[in-house]
Structure 1
Amino acid sequence: MARQTKQKNIVRKRSYPAARLARQQQPLAPEPNRLVKVWRRVLERRLRTRLRAKVAIEIHDNTHTMLTFQRQRALWRLRLHHMFLAAPDDVLQALAEFVREGDAEASLRLDRFIERNKAYIRRVSPAQMRKRLRLDPVGRHHDLGRIFERLNERYFESRISAAITYGPAPRVKGPRKSIKMGSYSADSKVIRIHPALDQPVVPRYFVEWIVFHEMLHHVYRARRGEDGRRCVHPPEFMEHERRFHDFKRAQAWELENLDLLLRARIGD
């Protein structure tokens, strides 16, 4: 009995190396991450010749911001969507001109490239995107949720399916030179209102006007004009905005009190 067991063990030991060799001889599929690293290095070389400086690239799969960059002494750091890995030479030239000089024409060429390749952008539902956000619509002085609901009922028959929140307090050193009082994300369907508007000296009708303006962005989407430029306030948008019940009074208050908003200290 012991002899038979020993023979079986011998058979196993003789067959194991052959089986392992057979597996090693099978062709291995290239690892996706390895290919991305190779393409990223190639992209870095292609941009290095155009920017005439060292380049470090990070590839991402974001759904909103397709490219960001910053200069660190002699090094350009870029974060690019993976659609740029196989970008043609003219797009890379536009990217270099936009990074180096902020060229407006180069920006348009990049916009067209992104529009043509939007199928590569991962689709995430607005509800999924909102789950990642912290929504805080109730301020100390103005409740954005109630303002949104009343405007939605009065002007849009409660058809605007968006969320609203105060944006984060921006980190600004020294006095502000400008202020973006509201924004609308078509991807997440979220309206953000600048926290500087949550002050007792800011009248409710002015906050309502800013919210109303951003709600209109949900109705009138940005489009490109005949010159190829992106238009976020088409004529019908501007005409619709004038229907706001306190339109002229809100505009007048902004002209008289813009400095107040620019000087606002958030979080005090």
Structure 2
Amino acid sequence: MKVWRRVLERRLRTRLRAKVALEIHDNTHTMLTFQRQRAMWRLRLHHMFLVAPDDVVQALASFVRKGDPDASVLLDKFIERNRVYIRRLSPAQMRKRIRLEPVGQHHDLERIYARLNERYFEGRIDAAITYGPAPRVKGPRKSIKMGSYSADSKVIRIHPALDQPVVPRYFVEWIVFHEMLHHVYRTRKGEDGRRCIHPPELMEHEKQFHDYARALAWERENLDLLLRARVTPA
């Protein structure tokens, strides 16, 4: 590893025409970072770059030196081709990095999740749940994403605007139930080749929710209330 690092350091030094301090890492998200310190460039690169071909090293130097957009595209393609070398974390490991806050002032998501899991899924859903961070929005919202599910970390996030006394419990339960269904019915490609987030089976299964019609009606009548909700970012 040390020998390969020195070789890459020398290749970059030649192209950047400056001193280079290179650190190699095994991160799972950020593949490259850099900063200029007087006459030296400090770079942190994923170990996939150790055997990068000349065109990628040249693109790396161009991107570092002047933010070349064409170089950025080439680097993205190189990272995508070598994604197999990125260490995968288990869902449990990912969840350790996430701040889980399921208990709100008015609705306890963990309790809601547990009861739904027992009632509809026989306790088989293995996920975590939390209120998501409040998006920083200037002016009135035009739309609101009330929930999301990450298949990688198996974490359900609920918009904090739902943690209000005027939002009925059955409506929060419906949103949580919908996100739990994403754990059962995974995203797939449709016949047209596009990603299908809500397959027909999921939409049909959702109708089994005990207050489905009432929750839909409440959403239609009160969407403006959720859009106007003032949520303080953490």
What TM-score, normalized to structure 1? 0.61
Letter in 2 for 1:130: R
- Gapped runs of 5+ residues in structure 2? 17-23, 32-44, 60-68
* Alignment-mate amino acid for residue 187 of structure 1: D
1:164 and 2:138 matched: no
RMSD: 3.6
1:121 and 2:82 aligned = no
Write the distance in 2 (CA, Å) between the matches of 1:37 and 1:212.
54
Which residue pairs with 1:31 in the alignment? 5
Measure, in 2, the Cα distance between the counterparts of 1:176 and 1:148: 27
Higher Cα Rg, which structure: 1
Report the TM-score, using the length of structure 2 for normalisation. 0.69
Ranked by relative contact order (alpha carbons within 8 Å, sequence separation 6 or more), the top structure is 2
Tell me the secondary structure at the aligned position of residue 192 of structure 1.
Answer: strand
Moved over 2 A (4+): 32-38, 59-66, 80-86, 116-121
Q: How many residues are paired up? A: 193
Query: Aligned partners of 1:225 and 1:164: how far apart in 2?
Result: 28
Distance apart, 1:122 and its partner CA: 1.8
Sort the Cα spacing of 1:32 and 1:180 in 2 relative to 1 into closer, same or farther, 3 A. Answer: farther
Cα distance, 1:226 vs structure 2:
2.6
Task: Sort the Cα spacing of 1:174 and 1:81 in 2 relative to 1 into closer, same or farther, 3 A.
Answer: farther
Shift of 1:62: 6.0
Q: Give the drift of 1:29.
A: 2.6
Residues 187, 65 of structure 1: alpha-carbon distance in 2 compared, 3 angstrom cutoff: farther
Equivalences for 1:60-139 in 2 at 5 Å?
Answer: 63=28, 114=80, 118-139=83-104
Instruction: Report the AA paired with residue 172 of structure 2.
Output: V
Structure-2 residue corresponding to 1:260: 225
Distance 2:214 2:7 in 1: 57
Identity of matched residues, %: 75
Distance 2:11 2:150 in 1: 32
SS of residue matched to 1:164: strand
Write out aligned runs for 1:1-268 (5 A). 29-31=3-5, 34=8, 38=12, 63=28, 114=80, 118-267=83-232
Alpha-carbon deviation of 1:35? 5.8
Which residue is 2:20 aligned to?
A: none
The structural deviation recorded for 1:34 is 3.1
Conservation of the 8 A alpha-carbon contact between 1:64 and 1:187: no
Q: Deviations over 1:32-59 (max 9, x none)?
A: 7936984xx89xxxxxxxxxxxxxxxx9
Residues 165, 190 of structure 1: 8 Å contact kept: yes
Q: Give the secondary-structure state (helix, strand or coil) at the position aligned to 2:3.
A: coil
Query: What is the match of residue 77 of structure 1?
Result: none
Please report how far the alpha carbon of residue 120 of structure 1 lies from its aligned counterpart in structure 2 after TM superposition: 3.1
Name the SS of the counterpart of 1:183 in structure 2.
Answer: strand
